[in-house]
Amino acid sequence: MSGDAPNLKMILPPDAYKELPEGERYPPVVPDGVSLPELSVKAVLIGAVVGVVFGAANAYLGLKVGLTVSASIPAAVIGVALFRLFRSGSLLETNIVQTIGSAGESLAAGVIFTLPVLYLWGEDPGFWPIFPLALLGGLLGVFFMIPLRRYLIVQEHGRLSYPEGTACAEVQVASQAGGSSARLLFAGMGLGALYTALEKFAHLFPAEVDLQINREGFRTSMGGDVTPELLGVGAIIGPRVSAVMLAGGAVGWLVLIPLMYAFGGAADAPIAPEATTLLRDMDSFTVWSRYLRYVGAGAVAFGGLFTLIKSTPTILRSFQLALAALRQRNAGQDVPRTEDELSLRVVGAVLLAIALLASFLPLMSTGGSIGLLAGVAVVVFAFFFVTVSSRIVGLIGSSSNPISGMTIATVLVCALLFGGAFGAESRVAVLTIGSLVCIAAAIAGDTSQDLKTGFLLGATPRRQQLGEVVGVITAALAMSTVLALFREDIVSGAFKAPQANLIKLVIDGVLDGDLPWALVLSGAAMAFCVEIMGLPTLAFAVGLYLPVHLATPIMVGGLVRLVVEVMTREEERDHRREAGVLFASGLIAGAALVGVFGAALTFFEVGWFDGDPPPPDAWVPAALAFGALTGALVWVAMGRPGAPETHS
């Protein structure tokens, strides 16, 4: 492809998956001394269009069912396809396309999780203030990640895998390289796409299996979201983190939910925070939504806080490295291209401007503002949860990033601190703070994955960071329009908007004095116990917060990787692991592409594939299909189709 230096080896080095010895640097695909087209006009335009389209489709999907589809890999695939069509475009231009394009999906998640609450309260916001909230929150996430890059992406390389970012790098390199690596990748993409199409459009098997358990008073349910993307994520992050995440889900669904049924099932009145339905009449998912999510939110808040405290020395070291790079640049010394990023002066000036703008951002009806102290709280909470969000997606991927849990923790504290200071505008003011932090955390997770991709490929951080800014601006413009279009469906309940309804419940609960603090503090205590056992607290907390049905297929993927590493000879282990990760990356990419396509069909009300999906208890076809998918991953990773090219 034009623009690529002919002597580049288009394959990720084995060090892409390893923790490096002290003082050793990772050798990217495009070295420091090679300069390729990167932040070009065509890359920016394609990325902006992709971001708007994916953002709109994911806003619709998220409001309707509470889920979004990761856009990084589809954006990269679209970039590769378009550049091949026009026979121009470098590897680093493709990376800019996915950097800008994926911002739309992430910003959409932050917006739809919080700002629909305004509609539920009877407010009628239009383009203002939705656009400035989306813009300022997105910029917070991008600019806080700049000084953290050296710590989270560079120094933690090998410890934080950033599965989607790594998968995206594999997609782009394999697309450029061709050969057996490309065949492995595209075989995975084809299988992932076929599997997802058979589930979504042909309805041959359910995407989620749920088995009800009610024996001897032990009542709960277990199952799994049997999807290619979760299987692929598990194969990338490995068995240890997968197991801890499953442990969190097991504590929630095999311990806490059965105990809730056992001790609350005989109650003849609803148990707070539920106000209408008896506990014995709820299914396990309703119990999770009404009670267990509060426990998980407390665990996520504690896990994030403790992780930040433990990481403080290294974060400070990261800031020192950024300051040293600034002094080096000011002294006229050359900075390696792969370390060239926006300076701390620019970062500090932008963050100060955002804090001031957020402080005086007008509220809905009175025209007042949240004030300078609350603006400072926005910056403090945003920095905290940007760091937490980046570490979570580094451990277990963006698909399992508990953004709503972080937002719950934010609005909990802010409602206590500032709830009484705003009078009639208390709810809107707390939501304003929470929405800015939520959007910042969502964008930070995406930015982290993008910077990981760029780190592996050898992109220029400064150009990627500017690309993130472009993506935030275009996505904020689109989201302010899209959200207004969906207002009636949100208010009527046609769109469930589950995260927004939960945020509304929390804010109303704190300000009205009826929040279930016992559940929240119990979750924090559980996370503390996990921390003193020396296990990854955030992985456990995320497993506790999310349904266990997400953790089980991730664990299957982790076990596949464990089997491959145990049963493979040491001299072949790197190649076999890379083959499995490459195929798993293809599974994620293929499923994501079909998911976005399905969301687009739904968005434009194209009823080509109408029909009722099979029920969640149709476990036999689901088990057969997922078993075949897992078998294909094992077959590839164990080396039956042939190893990828030997590294030079």
Q: Give backbone dihedrals phi and psi of 268, rounded to 5 degrees, phi first.
A: -95, 5
Question: What value does the mean pLDDT take over residues 30-51?
Answer: 91
566 pLDDT above the threshold of 80: yes
Could you tell me which residues are beta bridge partners of residue 219? 214
Angle between helices 293-330 and 371-396 (to 10 degrees): 100
642 pLDDT above the threshold of 70: no
Tens digits of residue pLDDT in 506-563: 888 888 887 788 998 999 999 999 999 988 888 898 889 888 998 999 999 999 999 9
448 pLDDT above the threshold of 80: yes
> Does the CA dihedral 29-31-36-42 come out positive or negative?
positive
**In this predicted structure, what is the pLDDT of residue 474?**
94
Could you tell me which residues are beta bridge partners of residue 209? 224
Q: Which residues of 380-419 are buried (b: 16+ CB within 10 A; e: fewer)?
A: ebbbbbbbbbbbbbbbbbbbbbbbbbbbbbbbbbbbeebb
636 pLDDT above the threshold of 70: yes
Question: What value does the mean pLDDT take over residues 629-637?
Answer: 93
DSSP character for 154?
A: I
Give the containing element (helix H, strand E) for 219. Answer: strand 218-225
97 pLDDT above the threshold of 90: yes
339 closest CA partner among 527, 472, 465, 436: 465
Give the containing element (helix H, strand E) for 218. Answer: strand 218-225
Tens digits of residue pLDDT in 346-383: 999 999 999 898 888 777 655 667 788 888 889 989 98
Tens digits of residue pLDDT in 487-511: 888 888 777 787 888 788 788 888 8
**In this predicted structure, what is the pLDDT of residue 367?**
60
Question: What value does the mean pLDDT take over residues 232-260?
Answer: 92
Whose structure tokens read 């933690």?
Answer: 156
Task: Tell me if the pTM is above 0.75.
Answer: yes
6 pLDDT above the threshold of 70: no
Q: How many Cα neighbours within 13 Å face the side chain of 284?
A: 25
**In this predicted structure, what is the pLDDT of residue 589?**
77
Q: What burial class does residue 493 get, using C-beta atoms within 10 Å of its C-beta: 0-12 exposed, 13-18 middle, 19+ buried?
A: exposed
644 closest CA partner among 558, 597, 577, 591: 577
Angle between helices 91-114 and 163-177 (to 10 degrees): 150
Question: What value does the mean pLDDT take over residues 145-165?
Answer: 86
Could you tell me which residues are beta bridge partners of residue 212? 221
Angle between helices 163-177 and 570-603 (to 10 degrees): 100
